[in-house]
Every structure is written in structure tokens, then in C-alpha cells.
Amino acid sequence: MLKRTSLASLVLVLGLWSAAKPAFSQALVPHVLQIDAAKLEQQALILAQEAAQLSQFQQFELALPRAELAVQLAPKNNQVWSLLGSLYLQQSQLDKGIAALQQARSLDPKDSPVLFALGSAYFQQKKYPQAAEYIQAGLKIKPNTPGALFDLGNTYYMLKRFQDAIVQYDKAVKIEPKFWPAINNTGLIKYEQGNIDAAIKEWRRAIVLDDKAAEPQLALAVALYTKGDREQGLVLGEAALRIDPKYADLKFLKENLWGDRLMIDAQKFLATPRIQASLVKGQGQPLQPQQPSPQ
């Protein structure tokens, strides 16, 4: 186990040393404490690595102080700033996250993961033009990044640039053929455009790629039920909610970019007695649907 007390003591000593004054009036030859910058940066990287490992186990309350100390020890290391920014984003501290990521960007303007992370942060703030700008900048550096293409597609979707969104989703799937979320979101757009049959086709494609993915199953269930194939829709819906009951929450659906048309139909579907009974059986309480808010 690393002993951080030695590092903390060094910082304390440096602070006290700079503040101390000679106790006597005669001239003294001061002892100058030499700071080993390389060792400080090495310690910073160790702390950053620990923070990254802790974050993998969702222990952000332990990870953040390490990352914050790391940037103090290595303020010119863009990767340490990038880690800190990412941890802030994980904690939904968006302003702090953006500030840290911007610092990382100032140190290395061509770090594509930082640009992608900034795009994600601005997306979460619903600043979609800024989100698109940073994701596009990252893609100029690293164009074949499926996750970033997907994020750009989502950003275009929120800007109602539907065809541009589909183009980005298609690019992501060409690079990563099993990337079902991009196919799923193409279905969301098709549904909003009133092309239910095309949406159904996309969701069936997504389910073929991952039959344990609850979202395309529920979306397909809603679409089939709305079209009149109620029995198949209900069977699929029950199966989807057994996989992941969170999809019975309309707020959760909205966060997953379900559009107004699909939200209205989903609310009707989730309110059916059979689905309500299924939710009671699976969760012990019935769904309390709320009216979907407009985008």
C-alpha cells in the first residue's frame, strides 16, 4: 500500500518553509529544499491510476480527492486533468467537469477523447450546438470512433436534424456491426417521422444483434400494439420489462431519447391492465405513468 503521508508531509513542509522567517537577525545561509518535479509527477500519475481504478468500482467519493490532488502535483499533465474532468462528469458536476476538460484541452488541443468528453458534457447540459462542435472536432482527429459517431447522431437528433443523425448512426454500425443502440435510435427517428413499419424493421434488427436488450424490445412491443397486433405486443412488452423494469419509467424513456409520438403510445401501452399486472408481479408496485413533457 502506498504511503501518502510522506507526500502530504512534503507539501506541508514546503508550505511552512515558504512562510517561515529566520528567528535571528544575523545573516543565515538558508537550506533550500529541492523539489523533484519528476517524482511529484510520478506520484501524481500513481494517484491518477488509483482514482481511475476506484472509479471502475463506482467509488467516486474516494477517486475524486486523488484526482484533485494529482492535478495539483502535475498541473501540466493533460491526461490527469482529463481524468478529473471525467470523474466530475460521472458525478454530474458538469461545470467542474467542463472546466477540467477545457484545461486538458488547452494542454493538448488534439486529444480526441477530451473533445468527445466535452461534447458529452455539453450534451448533458442540453447545449447541443456546442456538443456537436466538440464531437465533430474529435472526429476530425479520430474519425472511426463508433461511440463518438453515435453521440453526434444523438446530438443531431436533439437538434431535429434527423437525416444527419441517421447518417452518423449508419457510420457507427458500419464500423461496429453489432452496435445495436445506433440501430435502435434510427428506429426512434423513423417512428417520430411517422414511418412505423420502418421503425419496426430497425428494432427487429437490433433485437437480432442482442436479444437481451430491453429497449428495442419494448419499443417494438409498443409499435406492434399501436398497429393492432396487441397480443404479440403485450408478450414482447412483458419480456422486455422482465429484462429491465426501468423501461417502465416514462422519465427514463425520455432520457433515452424516446420522442413525443412514441412516448404517447408507450404511456398507453404501459397503462394496460396486463402490463400493470406484470409490473406488480415483478416489482411489487404498479406503474404510475405521468404525462410526457414536450422536448
Q: Please, what sign has the CA dihedral across residues 114, 118, 119, 121?
A: positive
Taking the C-alpha atoms of residue 184 and residue 146, their distance in angstroms, rounded to an integer, is 14
Q: Average per-residue pLDDT in the chain?
A: 86
Taking the C-alpha atoms of residue 215 and residue 219, their distance in angstroms, rounded to an integer, is 6
pLDDT tens across 26-65, in order? 444 445 445 566 788 888 889 999 999 998 888 988 999 9
**Segment 10-28 mean pLDDT:** 31
User: 107: how many CB neighbours lie within 10 A of its CB?
Assistant: 17
Task: Give the per-residue pLDDT at 147.
Answer: 96
**Segment 240-256 mean pLDDT:** 96
Taking the C-alpha atoms of residue 235 and residue 148, their distance in angstroms, rounded to an integer, is 34
User: Which residue, 206, 214, 196, is CA-closest to 261?
Assistant: 196
User: 203: how many CB neighbours lie within 10 A of its CB?
Assistant: 30
Taking the C-alpha atoms of residue 50 and residue 65, their distance in angstroms, rounded to an integer, is 11
Q: How far is CA 277 from CA 48, 161, 181, 246, 287, in A?
A: 49, 39, 29, 16, 9
Check pLDDT > 80 for residue 285: no
User: Which residue, 142, 134, 95, is CA-closest to 116?
Assistant: 134
**Segment 209-229 mean pLDDT:** 97
Residue position matching grid coordinates 399486472: 277
Check pLDDT > 90 for residue 284: no
Residue 262: how many CA atoms within 13 Å on its side-chain side? 31
Taking the C-alpha atoms of residue 72 and residue 182, their distance in angstroms, rounded to an integer, is 39
Taking the C-alpha atoms of residue 230 and residue 286, their distance in angstroms, rounded to an integer, is 20
Helical H segments across the chain, by residue range: 4-19, 37-56, 60-73, 78-90, 94-107, 112-124, 128-141, 146-158, 162-175, 180-192, 196-209, 214-227, 230-243, 250-255, 260-270, 273-283
Record the cell numbers describing residue 248, joined without a space: 417502465
CATH of span 178-295: 1.25.40.10
pLDDT tens across 128-177, in order? 999 999 999 999 999 999 999 999 999 999 999 999 999 999 999 999 99
Do 100 and 88 contact (CB within 8 A), yes or no?
yes
Check pLDDT > 90 for residue 240: yes
> Residues for the chain: how many in total?
295
Residue 22 exposed, middle or buried by CB count within 10 Å (0-12, 13-18, 19+): exposed
Taking the C-alpha atoms of residue 234 and residue 51, their distance in angstroms, rounded to an integer, is 45
The amino acid present at 132, given as its one-letter code, is A
